[in-house]
Amino acid sequence: MTALFVDPRRLETFRVVASTGQISAASRLLHLSQPAVTAQVRQLEADCGQPLLVRTARGVRLNAAGRVLFDYAQRIHGLLDEAALAIAAEETLTGELVLAASTTVANAIVPGLLASFLRTHRELQVRLEVGNTREVLTWLSEGRVPLGLVEGHARAPGIRLERYLDDELVPVVSSQGPAEWSRVRTMDALREVPLLWREQGSGTRAVLDRALRKAGVRKGPQRGDLQLGSTEAIKRAVSLGLGVALLSRWSIDGELSLGRFQVLPVPGLRIPRAFSWALPVAEPSGAAGRFLRHARATPPVLLP
């Protein structure tokens, strides 16, 4: 029986592609061209003698063999991180890690990143400032925080955005809500149901305003709609059957897996967006810099 050799470089490329679900996103994180990333993944598949990824219009996802190899790749990556930390001159971080996040990512993304980071930096204190995207960019511009994670299209002077994770806003209703809302399948039907909106200044609201206006569904809230100040408030309103919400796919993973929410399949309505690091011109240093490097290297994975 021929022994299988797995090239560590190809394995790491595969891990990042699988983590992000996008060749383009992986190429940015790895500082490689997209053709180079694709070539490494295909060579790894050739080495393994079988496909590892399923190619879709939206990117890639793991097949059964890929999930097995991805688990090993994650464990190897974790061991290498531990080794690097064990020999690093800056082995122990103390003081306070300060960062800011818009509300969706503060709930859905940041806790997992902090949990994995603090496992090796237990001496740190953490202060997470939470606001909408506009507020986070203002705090960063004012020097109140050294690092932010935001959603939407907002910009601010002296701030650069670094794309981090792909997301999509999807229309959802409560599985226990009014039956007629669960039957929404067209743009025309979507115009006739109450929608649940975030407040002005929210990154989600900015993306949603633009997408629904382009689709001809809404030009802002109308009679019967609700405007609420956080994703969690909107999710609660959905649970109570108060309307249809367009929410981040990352933010409703738990509700979908438990069967509490259902996604409405509305052809022609696709609202992609990204979560991005908001950074000053200079790369953050100290605890914020170490946290950013950790997050770049170990992006969270949205399970299919």
CATH numbers and ranges of domains, the chain: 8-87 (1.10.10.10), 96-164+274-297 (3.40.190.10), 166-273 (3.40.190.10)
pTM above 0.95, yes or no: no
Start-end of H helices in 158-202: 179-182, 187-191
What pLDDT score does 252 carry?
Answer: 92
Output the DSSP codes for 50-70: S--EEEETTEEEE-HHHHHHH
| Closest to 208 measured CA to CA, from 250, 218, 103 | 218
What pLDDT score does 1 carry?
Answer: 44
E runs forming strands in the chain? 53-56, 59-62, 96-102, 125-131, 148-151, 159-174, 195-198, 226-228, 244-248, 261-263, 271-280
| Closest to 173 measured CA to CA, from 120, 243, 267 | 243
Output the average pLDDT for the chain: 87
Q: What is the mean pLDDT of each run of 10 residues along the chain (304 residues)?
A: 74 87 81 88 91 87 90 81 57 84 92 92 93 92 94 78 89 90 89 90 84 86 90 93 93 90 91 90 85 87 70
What pLDDT score does 89 carry?
Answer: 43
What pLDDT score does 86 carry?
Answer: 59
What pLDDT score does 250 carry?
Answer: 92
| Contact (Cβ atoms closer than 8 angstroms) between residue 7 and residue 44 | yes
The dihedral formed by the CA atoms of 65, 68, 69 and 70, expressed in degrees to the nearest 10: 110
